[in-house]
Structure 1
Amino acid sequence: MLLSLCGCASSVAPEDTSVKLTLKRIYQDKEFEPQRAPYFRWLDDGSGYTVLEPRDKQAETKPKAGEEEHGVKGSDIVFYKADGSGRQVLVSLEQLTPQGAKEALTIEDYQWSDDGQWLLVFTNGQKVWRSRTRGDFWVLNLKSNKLYQLGGAQPAAKKLMFAKFSPDSKRVAYVQDNNIYLESLGSSKVTQLTHDGSDTLINGHFDWVYEEEFTIKDGFLWSPDSQNIAYWQLDSSGVKLFTMINNTAGLYPTITQFPYPKAGEQNSAVRIGVVNVQDGKTRWAPLPGDNRDRYVPRISWAGTSEAVLIQDVNRPQNTNVLRLFDWQKQQLTTIMTEHDDAFLEWYYPAEWEKDGRHFIWHSERDGWRHLYRVSRDGKSVVDLTPGDYDVVDLLTLNKATNSLYFTASPNHPEARYLFKASLDGSGKVTRITPENFSGNNRYYISKDGSLAMHTYSRFDVPPSSEIIKVDGHNTIKALTDNAELKAKLAKLDLPQHQFFQVKARDGVALDGWVMFPPHMDKSKKYPIIFYVYGEPWGSTVQDVWSGDNYLWSSMMAQHGFIMVSVDNRGTRAPKGREWRKSIYKKIGIITVRDQVDALDAIAKRWPQVDSARVGVWGHSGGGSSTLNLLFRHGDKFKVGAAFAPVADIRLYDSIYQERYSGNPKTDPDSYTQSSPITFAKNLTGKLLLVHGTGDDNVHYQGTEELINELVKYNKQFEFMSYPNRTHALKEGEGTTLHRQTLKTDFFEKYLLKPAQ
């Protein structure tokens, strides 16, 4: 505070800091954390849901004098009707406490057997690749209250993965040491079904790249009759190992190695088998060709237990052959082929009707992603969701009511709404979400499609959640409204925002959002910062609450920046096949050109934009886009912060990179022209480069190669490595606040003052 000459405090009132956002308020004090709806499970019969309730949060009665207080801590599994009434403890923490233990099992996941007599609990999870999928599994008999650990009490029992009940509720299957095992419920009789698992031969789950790029972890499926298990086998022998060094784990560094096929390198071989639980024999699908040059991203039992549908995708990922595998005859029948001149992506399992006569299929065959009803022989293909729009997500389907539910947004790519269609194609597609819910709507729907948890938010409106009856979208029970957070936000001096659309040089419409400084003087010019992702697996322009990202952008607007984000073509926006596939072999070229065109159009529309002070930042693919904008379009983009970028796409994994860029052995120019490192010598602006040394996804290796290239050409830049942080760059005490402070100070240092 300034002091007057007499030593008295100045009469000038101090600035009201309560209306301003700060890094400390957002990332350290976490003042603006929203209340989240409870995580629950719908019961299959639609009667209500179950939820984990910590005992210490429930109203407890203290023990009477002379009584011993129960020392066990944990959660009960509690049932509620959809309206919140009818509370009933289905499984108490006492039932979930192993004999002699002082604490109940910490439930990370749970499932009910189909007959309702057994509960399966997953606890003590450990990371495998990037997810906690290995740990302890316990089963509880709900009649006898007997609780015991699968696999026995020996140390090996802690190495189980993906335990799940058979449909007849008599057995549990799981993966242990890369083999599939069977355990009879109640008797603890264990049968080993596969015997060839090893460090390189994987039965029932996946290698790193399958899990990451096909978003699958669990690699086996029970047949409907509970007599067979279909499974993936991956052979990673010959796949080169990637090595990561952890320098902070102890006195000496530790080393982690795992098979990681980079673009153009050898993949794991894949094959599909069906093992019979009686004879223990595996029948292998006789897929033609080289198993190292194919992918099988999805399989599914074809309604009944006679055959498995295999999605057989070629290595370039432009052809998906759907093959029915009659495992008893070991015969394959091709029923349909999907092909795209560019690439196929986002693989979904076929949703089969129980009698196996038809299945629901996702396809872009007419230029839009639609849902089709396909006959078992592939001869009948009926579009259930016709029109010039994309289906975003299939949520559920119900044969009894001839209905399926999905999300889409035909006219506003930044929004999401719920729609209903008929399973047989006889009815019209109808929108369920009411008009007053303009923005982002997410639904967790019960199996029968009658009930849903509906979560609604907008760009500057935190989420609210309710339980609804889907028919009529009528509220049954409010869950969270975040009224306290909304009131706190209302007191802040927040920026105005708007969604807009501009055109690229070839006329393609680009969607974006912009935030202006509060009380902006329209006669002045302000620096602008772009937030970019730019690649096929994300979209930044959505009318949805983004939490800390929104708050940071708002804080920067309060500091005097115009904040903006634009979805270039190729991003995961529901704008049709042509939008997404036009970037084939052009990532880093046409994608960043769209950002340049957007900047020019924005500066023309809003004269307050200072085109001499343009910044950009992004993470992962957004970090790559940031580098390309600085290196290729340095006359436009002057300051950039690139977090965990792919500097050279030759270093990224085979599945993702070859899908969008071709194979480096046959398409070398695609890799050269798309990689930022090719153009590093052109850097003229200010660069902040940030990477975690423990990043197993986008390897730190690429950033070191980029540093060498920048040093080679005497290009000065700022750099931060975070020891042993993964791709998320958030592990470790203080990391997020430090990272955000680094980014904030960087942009304020180089962009707040007018360019000289």
Structure 2
Amino acid sequence: MRKLYILLFFIAYTSVTTLFAQNKKITLEEIYGGTFGTNGMERLESLQNGDQYTILNLDYTNRVAIINKYDYKTLAKAETVISSSDSNTIPFFTSYEFSKDESKLLLATEIESIFRRSTLGVFYVFDLKSKKISKISDDKIQEPLVSPDGSMVAYVKDNNIYIFNIISNTTVQITKDGKKNSIINGVTDWVYEEEFAFVRAFEWNSDGTKLAFIKFDETNVPEFSMDVYGSDLYQTQTVFKYPKAGEENAIVSLHMLDVKSANITAIDLKEPYYIPRIKWMNNPEFLSVQTLNRHQNNLKLVQVNAKNGKSKTLLEETDKAYVDVTDNLTFLKDDSFIWTSEKDGYNHIYLYDDKGKLRSQVTKGSWEVTNYYGYDPKADRIYFQSTENGSINRDVYSIRSNGKSKKRLTESVGINSADFSADFTYFINSYSSATTPPEFTLHLSSNGNKIKDILDNRELLVQLQDYNLSPKEFSTLEINGNELNMWMIKPTDFDANKKYPLFMTQYSGPGSQSVSNAWMGSNDYWYQILANEGYIVVCVDGRGTGYKGADFKKVTYKELGKYEVEDQIDAAKKLSELSYIDEDRTGIWGWSYGGFMSTNCLLKGNDTFEMAIAVAPVTSWRFYDTIYTERFMRTPQENPTGYDENSPFNYPELLKGKYLLVHGSSDDNVHVQNTMRMIEALVQANKQFDWAIYPDKNHGIYGGNTRLHLYTKMTDFIKLNL
């Protein structure tokens, strides 16, 4: 069977290589004008009956929003659930959410972004039986959540929690101490949102009698400010709390509201430093809380009794480096639970009883579980995604809770991911590879058999026949005792007897992956432009990146920018030994962590790299936030050499090659301070370089023609200097 997969991949690769052999060249205008965009599935919500799902269809031109219901088996439309064109009382909405009992719809309108994940909006509740619609608040609010019985909505406004009673159309303010840049109730502060990846910090229990929430006291957290230049005569300023490495974090505490009595109880968790997750168990009297110490190497899963506030530890994870926080905790009917852990050296699934005693290690092997989808109690099957078929690939599997009868549910080599129906009867598989644009198919969960095709992007392949493109060539490179994943793109008219400049791209951050067997993103099309200009483009995932085991990932602990930089420099040297690489023309670029890396490579590898581009780089980890930085570095007070020996503005005198430094002035994540300090260091070292600041642009540096301008600038810089 293995030979069959290789043969199929070869056939697909050969056919696409034929397509990638025409004469038309890609332009930046086409990339950032959306010419090569792919069609995707609308976000669907699986209904509890397991047979149907809903999809939101938006007509922005006519301001009409429609939720339609479809059958999994036939993919045929069953009915229209709601349409904003049916009544003047139903507004144009851009997202929705069912209540737990599916009797209500929460409709979101007038959404505006705050930071990466947080938003404000005006929300409505639509009763599916009575067709009555209720506006929750005239003001913009955050994170509304309907109670399990569909009678109430809890939400946050101005850092305080409110509860709206749908039946009586009344609102009660639950907390009153919320204050900007001081006290936050029920939603996270900036650093939790960014690094623990959640915003809503409150949850209803299973019968709606209790509401647990986290309070953040950020009074003593230092403030960061950003000028916003806009178009007025005077600029404005955004000021927010941002704890940099080694500085004070918000003091967090857990509280419990009894809805009937309106009493709020503080829960004693023995002063946890971080509370990265809360989740109610199925028993409405028990709440699970994950706590983490500042070093993030000791994680506890704590059970809190909502009746008396007492707590006990169910599970504890420790690590010599750090423990990752995930959303993979699932409580089964009896409150036994499924958990993922790296404790055997690879990320795997474990089953514990309701007292926290290990029942079984469900998965094991020298590969990683990369996504946990859920558990079907009827079939006793756990569904997950993993790298068992190679670290650059993903497949979907099922397995019994005792670790037996594992089944591979996907066949195509590449990146497979699943969206399961509520009862796990069906799943929609999303698949792509370096040679196949995204395609979506419907499958049976029991055996993975395909029922039918849903959507593909064959039109894009036909469109690409007109272009002069080169396929990615995947391989590994032995560097510093490790087999590092690599891809290479050569010019379409490649001649092994010629010499070509080498241009390297990477990100390199802890646990990341840049070398994967997935379809092209916008940067991949840019690399095709560079290949057409006569460059060989290469990406190497060095030590510290993900999906090859905990030891490989955590080797960079307390030394960010040391081993990763060594691997990129040594990879460039080894590639320069190839007969067709010009060893005197080597460049590298990266964004964010990748910009930190490219800058270090140009300085520390000044005998190897002749050119580098850094976009929105960290130039000192002392400037970055506590949760991310201290997870990998501890504090600057504990590890000053780890911070300073790999901070590029501490050795600007090493610059020999050509350097382009780019940043957005309103980057709330990696502050422009990083670039300003790098600029000043280079100026004082009398080193010439190029730089660009994009006004009022955040970490993504986009909007209007911004991306086109940025990539034009970078392309011109490469062509001029490499």
Structure 2 Cα separation of the partners of residues 441 and 219 of structure 1: 31
Point out which structure has higher relative CO (alpha carbons under 8 A, 6+ apart). 2
Deviation at 1:33? 1.6
After TM superposition, list the pairs within 5 Å mapping 1:127-206 onto structure 2. Answer: 127-151=113-137, 157-199=138-180, 200-206=182-188
State the one-letter code of the partner of 2:410: T
Contact 2:65–2:85 (CA under 8 A) maintained in structure 1? no
Deviation at 1:96? 5.9
2:274 is aligned, of 281, 295, 304, to: 295
Moved more, 645-654 or 278-287: 278-287
Larger Rg: 1
Name the SS for the 2:653 alignment partner: helix
Contact 1:460–1:550 (CA under 8 A) maintained in structure 2? no
After TM superposition, list the pairs within 5 Å mapping 1:512-527 onto structure 2. Answer: 512-527=486-501
1:268 is aligned, of 231, 250, 254, to: 250
State the one-letter code of the partner of 2:595: G
Aligned to 1:501: 476
After superposition, the Cα gap between the structure-2 partners of 1:24 and 1:116, relative to the gap in structure 1 and judged at 3 Å, is: closer
Name the SS for the 1:622 alignment partner: helix
Deviation at 1:129? 2.5
Structure 1 Cα separation of the partners of residues 434 and 652 of structure 2: 35
2:708 is aligned, of 734, 737, 741, to: 737
Structure 2 Cα separation of the partners of residues 428 and 316 of structure 1: 39
Aligned to 1:487: 462
Structure 1 portions without partners, runs of 5+: 1-15, 58-71, 99-103, 152-156, 752-756
Aligned to 1:63: none
Aligned to 2:32: 27
TM-score (norm 2): 0.94
1:602 is aligned, of 556, 563, 575, to: 575
Deviation at 1:602? 2.4
1:629 is aligned, of 592, 601, 604, to: 601
Aligned to 1:112: 98
Structure 1 Cα separation of the partners of residues 717 and 514 of structure 2: 22
Aligned to 2:349: 371
After TM superposition, list the pairs within 5 Å mapping 1:221-300 onto structure 2. Answer: 221-289=203-271, 294-300=273-279
After TM superposition, list the pairs within 5 Å mapping 1:208-607 onto structure 2. Answer: 208-289=190-271, 294-348=273-327, 350-356=329-335, 358-423=336-401, 425=402, 427-434=404-411, 437-505=412-480, 507-571=481-545, 573-604=546-577, 606-607=578-579
State the one-letter code of the partner of 1:189: T
Aligned residue pairs, count = 700
Structure 1 Cα separation of the partners of residues 537 and 307 of structure 2: 61
Deviation at 1:622? 0.4
Deviation at 1:95? 4.4
Structure 2 Cα separation of the partners of residues 491 and 472 of structure 1: 39
Aligned to 1:44: 48
State the one-letter code of the partner of 1:741: T
After superposition, the Cα gap between the structure-2 partners of 1:24 and 1:351, relative to the gap in structure 1 and judged at 3 Å, is: same
Deviation at 1:346? 3.6
Note if 1:81 corresponds to 2:71. Answer: yes
Query: Deviation string for 1:169-203 (max 9, x for gaps)?
Result: 22221112212222222321222222322221111
Query: Deviation string for 1:651-680 (max 9, x for gaps)?
Result: 000100111111001110110122222222
After superposition, the Cα gap between the structure-2 partners of 1:128 and 1:248, relative to the gap in structure 1 and judged at 3 Å, is: closer
Contact 1:398–1:448 (CA under 8 A) maintained in structure 2? yes
Query: Deviation string for 1:453-482 (max 9, x for gaps)?
Result: 211111243211222223333333433211
Structure 2 Cα separation of the partners of residues 186 and 329 of structure 1: 30
Aligned to 1:10: none
Structure 1 Cα separation of the partners of residues 715 and 345 of structure 2: 42
Contact 2:40–2:455 (CA under 8 A) maintained in structure 1? yes
Name the SS for the 1:131 alignment partner: coil
Contact 2:361–2:403 (CA under 8 A) maintained in structure 1? no
Name the SS for the 1:297 alignment partner: strand
State the one-letter code of the partner of 1:336: L
Deviation at 1:547? 2.2
Between the aligned residues of both structures, percent identity stands at: 33
Structure 1 Cα separation of the partners of residues 299 and 144 of structure 2: 30
Contact 1:503–1:601 (CA under 8 A) maintained in structure 2? no
Deviation at 1:18? 5.5
After superposition, the Cα gap between the structure-2 partners of 1:610 and 1:600, relative to the gap in structure 1 and judged at 3 Å, is: same
Structure 2 portions without partners, runs of 5+: 1-20
Contact 2:576–2:583 (CA under 8 A) maintained in structure 1? yes
Structure 2 Cα separation of the partners of residues 285 and 480 of structure 1: 49
Query: Deviation string for 1:387-435 (max 9, x for gaps)?
Result: 2211001012222221111111124111111011123x1523221112x
Name the SS for the 2:67 alignment partner: strand
Name the SS for the 1:311 alignment partner: strand
Name the SS for the 2:276 alignment partner: coil
Deviation at 1:23? 1.6
After TM superposition, list the pairs within 5 Å mapping 1:634-649 onto structure 2. Answer: 634-649=606-621
Structure 2 Cα separation of the partners of residues 608 and 46 of structure 1: 56
Deviation at 1:599? 1.9
